[in-house]
Structure 1
């Protein structure tokens, strides 16, 4: 809707122009009209207008003066002049200044006014189209440049480059203070279990895009399945406050929790130390809890390998004695926690010790642990010390009480999963959950999850999504149903999510896939 301003010192002319045109039908509206140029100029300074229809001769400020000032305020404004025969010199000056056209007041006709209005709107439309194309081109060029720097920096920090420095030109702001930020998505494993691997990947991509939409300078790299590494200039020395506000907005919009570690660097080489330092700062969430904003401390060296325990080995005899004597599992885990909470170990070192302890307990029970490798994987995916401790308590109690049923052989486990797969095939469009499938085969949720992955090589939810995508492909190839109908028929409740997952899986949108099948 184009906004029109009418200026004329004669009320009959102002009202006549307003009544001449069906503005809504033309895609425009008369927002205001004034009797002199001074009032009109004040309105132009406070509001946005697209078209100005003005008389030339007016008190206080004539139309030519108004036009000059108006174009200074809004260079894209389209001006239509209204004149008398005696105003020719003014008309000539107005046209030289860029007026679209002029109309004779004494012989003003509706069709003449409409013709000039439509020409003005066509000019505005063409300008907007060119602006959009230019902006799109600039954004595309900026996007490609950012991606190029992203990939180069990612290879560098992951030590895939043989050279000791970046081989591409980097922005000059890296020579001034900047912040390195390591962002981890909290509860990422839970997201993956409930919504699938692709959902988490798409979420990270959206967070990355949101960063670029709000930030003109800076880079965001996806460095793991659940984390981003970001570096951006620190122009005002208040990076912590800005990160805090950005974190709040991000979590509120996407309904997620994040943990952030950051360090302040200067110079291109600071990217490497900043990556390591911010990641180590973020790892404090393992010991202090999720959702924090952590500044790198002096004790967090830029060389991660120096973060080793002052006590390289530990005597775990008391831990195993507690297990052997039948003490509650929580007591044995509390003993382990005393060591782990003292510090000096990285989260990875704590997790490896927990894996060793679990293996040792199985050996105490003369059980090799048929799913031990999967349990080790679960331990390595714990995000906090509290989560690890809870997992250890559950596992140790299950071993001691035979809570988790032991399968006699792979054949029996295979029969259970076959039954589950048959049920999924018959009910994949329904609201299936890990718990509902576990109930079908009479297993605990956690054990069924481990057994399912052992037998099929993938998580339950990822298998279900793959099955639904296969059905969606079949439906798209067979008929011309709406994408929303195909999504529903394949078991997806959210068509937007379906479209994203479909393209992520196949490389094509549902419509593009359907067209490729014709």
Structure 2
């Protein structure tokens, strides 16, 4: 909230401006009223106004002299001149010495006053944020040169606060900047703490709290106060905020490293959602190269993925779930899955036209996603669309059959039945079964067995999966049933196959037709 000083030798003018400003008390407050420049100069020293509205011609000290003297006291003061028609030369002089705007008394109404003040507030906000960003960089690189010495004598904590969703400029104008709101809250919540506030990237507020004369609050207490203020901000400003809380530290040399950890904690809101309060933990790394290496290791198995391989979407979603567990940097995560989708897109047949250089960026939306659930949904949607396109071009089947094949490949581990499959394409069960057999030469159940067996073979080949685990992962309720089905399909048991991996492999590419029919009958009876 900006403080405004009103200076005019006419009392009705002062009262008029005071009334208008008080009607906008959520944006501005009255710092004082003065009848001449000398009174105003005294108030500038005692009340530290942000904006001075001043007449030009006044007794004792006129407006131009007030501007020159007050600017020496505080270069950050913004000035708004009140003038008459015959005073334009004075106005031009005022503009040359730093006045931001002027109002003609005869033509000004209430809306003009508020508009001029809001314009000045916006200009101050931009200058303040630019300065805060510059100061933050200096503080992080040389804290002992830029921070007050007394701040470095106690326990310190970084606190990062940012708005959820897309900022609304009208709300910002009505509620002041986030940094100023956070600073007021911190000053009220921790009156004995020393405080430095900065604007970080994305217009987030970065607060450094130093507790030199009192014990610092625990992480739980600080988190509780952050949640309380987040609820208050939602009621007062109609937007929500999230927080990242740094660990307590007492060394100037740790200022930059602990700031990075607090920022990483703040970025965890990507996984925890709106109105989140996330704290840095002792094991949290602040090294971007470590985060990149961790993500690269997580994505390694997907480098050789094929667009139409069974269970691809399931595998990709597992990696996305792992992102949430590990709190991988959101920007890195979105870039990694964007690159993955581009590799999958490159596998589409040329005639689909999906890789036309002139088309819009198909995956640009990933960069703009705010939360993990949105990323997960978007990746799944893109993969499914690409798979459906590939099926239509790879197999000479109808769209209905291609959709059933794609659904089975994605949901092979589920308990599938003809009822479930028929619902996907809105057809009668018998008609669907007959159409699938006519087009592919095999029953739906036979196709499902092939998909399950191929996936089982791939998992057993890793030598890291136990047979009972593989059975469950490919849709079998018991290891015994899985082993029977595997032997019916390949001619050897899963155990024999695992043993054979250490010696020349048998040819498992051809299923054993004489026993597959028995497996199909068992599945039909049990609706597996």
- TM-score if structure 2 supplies the norm length? 0.42
